Amino acid sequence: MPRPPVLPVIDWKKVFDSGIDYFAWIAGAENKDHAIAMETAVKGQKLDAQTVAYLGALPRPVYVVAVAEDWCGDVVRHVPVLQRLAQTAPQLKVRYITRQQHPDVFVRFLTNGGEAIPKFIFLSEQFTECGSWGPMPGDCRELIARGKACGDVGAARKKVSALYEMDAEKRTVVNELLHLIDTACCTAP
């Protein structure tokens, strides 16, 4: 049996360093209405006291490469959650890149073969890849996959919208991102 092809190793530190921080990213937004909506969402994103305490006490740095472009509705919905977490956690460092900037990176994070954003790649303090998130919460990704499988993506998107409405505080996203942060900064298996 032939060996599978080996993908080139990604220099995650180099990719991270090539990105820009949230403030430069939002200042360069092509869609100013989306930029305003994201800024408003960051300010309005609630975090409970336990989450704030946890984020303030992360034992080591976590790096996140965020593949995001401001034209995308899921980016507008989910980037503010990541930014609010980053504002609360001094050890959480986030940099933004585009799909075109690093196609070799993005192609590894397709969603069911499609180019869906945002994608958040979580890295340890040694810039080891520890997990990824996106373009939407797991339950929503599953609904879209099921919609594709049965040939009714429109119905799946309606169900995703209903889930979004039921989780106005984006607790599902917060919890999924916290899980990845915890993995990337863990001190033991």
Read off the amino acid at residue 91. Q
Distance in angstroms (rounded) separating the CA atoms of residues 80 and 100: 22
184: pLDDT confidence band, cut at 50, 70 and 90? very high
Q: Per the domain annotation, does 155 fall within a domain? A: no
Residue 3 within any structural domain of the chain: no
Its domain, for residue 32, covers 12-135+171-184
* 57 in a structural domain: yes
Q: What is the pLDDT of residues 54-68, one digit of tens each?
A: 999 999 999 999 999
Say if residue 3's pLDDT is above 80.
no
Rounded Cα–Cα distance for residues 53 and 188 (Å): 20
In-domain check, residue 159:
no
Per the structure, the count of domains in the chain is 1
The pTM of this model reads 0.94
Backbone angles phi, psi at 172, to 5 degrees: -60, -45
pLDDT digits (tens, 9 = 90+) for 119-147: 999 999 999 999 999 999 999 999 999 99
Per-residue pLDDT tens over the stretch 83-126: 999 999 999 999 999 999 999 999 999 888 889 999 999 999 99
| 98 within domain boundaries | yes
Task: Express as a percent the part of the chain with pLDDT over 70.
Answer: 100
Q: Rounded distance, CA 71 to CA 69, Å?
A: 6
Does residue 151 lie in a domain region?
no
In a domain, 6, yes or no: no
Mean pLDDT of 176-182: 98
- Does residue 189 lie in a domain region? no
Q: Look at 57 and 1; give whichever has higher pLDDT.
A: 57
- Of 97, 111, 115, the residue nearest 12 (C-alpha): 97
- Give the count of beta carbons closer than 10 Å to the beta carbon of residue 110: 11
CATH label of the domain that carries residue 70: 3.40.30.10
| Tokens at 142, concatenated | 């599953």
Q: Which of 16, 14, 101, 92 is nearest to 47 (CA)?
A: 92
Count CB atoms within 10 A of the CB of residue 88: 16
Considering only CA atoms, which of 68, 143, 64 is closest in space to residue 106? Answer: 68
Burial class (CB in 10 A: 0-12, 13-18, 19+), 189: exposed
